[in-house]
Structure 1
């Protein structure tokens, strides 16, 4: 594993343990070049999935992009990192087990929306504002009203 500090090619694993949800292995490593310590995570990848974006662009599924999007939506909401990781892992698992080698980005967006709706209504509205490209305050009002009405029915 390449060191993120000095780019040396070799590092030694000092400690390995499963994460809380057993979806990954957390490894503490030490660089043999500079001696710096860093953490890596090893996850199962079931298949190579390509995301079909607008304009006929295609790119490999990238878990870190999904993590960034969710992290931005839940920022300063006091949600435990473990719950966020479970949400991201669940979405990744759904994408990889769908049986499709190509998944539309809109499908991933809908999975994120559904997960955030169950996790936190403010994060759900934040994500929706970007995903659905709200242009005016009225768009927020209408969406927030529909979220409130749905919560009252449940």
Structure 2
């Protein structure tokens, strides 16, 4: 493993242990040339995944890019990093187990939306605003209504005793 500090190819593993969810091996390494210490993670990769972009371009799937986008959506939110890591592991596992080596970027986005919806509603709205390319405030309102499961309340009709006039304003009593 190349040292990220000096570029030396000779590094030594000082400690190895599984991560909390046992999806990877965490290795602490030290470089004998510069003394630099760093951590690496070893993960099982079932297949090479390629992302098919909306433009038709193909790019290799990058787990780190997925993690960064979630970190942006979750910035300053009270969500433990372990929960985010489990979510990313779950998304990657789903993508790898689909049997396809090419994954549409839309599919990845939908999996992220599902995960964020269960994880944190504010992060869900943040991510959705970029992913779905919101242009107006009503786009946010529609998503929040969808999130709440709230249907738009219907205005009372004249048959129900409703009127076209706004409700009368009441004044607070004044003190003398």
Q: TM-score, normalised by structure 1?
A: 0.95
Aligned residues: 150
- Larger relative CO (CA 8 A, sep 6+): 1 or 2? 1
Whose helix proportion is higher, 1 or 2?
1
Deviations 1:25-52 (A, max 9, x none): 0000001220110001100000011110
Pairwise mapping of residues 3-152 of structure 1 onto structure 2 (< 5 A)? Answer: 3-149=3-149
| Stretches of 4+ aligned residues off by more than 3 angstroms | none
Question: How far apart are the structure 1 equivalents of 2:80 and 2:111?
Answer: 20
Distance 2:141 2:4 in 1: 44
- TM-superposed deviation, 1:149: 2.1
Distance 1:141 1:8 in 2: 54
Q: Report the secondary structure of 2:55's partner residue.
A: helix
Q: TM-score normalized by structure 2?
A: 0.83
State the distance in 1 between where 2:149 and 2:120 align.
Answer: 15
What is the rounded CA distance, in whole Å, between the counterparts of 1:16 and 1:135 in structure 2? 48
In structure 2, the gaps of 5 or more residues are 151-176
Unpaired runs of at least 5, structure 1: none
Decide which structure has the larger Cα Rg and report it: 2
CA distance in 2, matches of 1:5, 1:136: 46
Please state whether the residue corresponding to 1:103 is helix, strand or coil.
Answer: strand
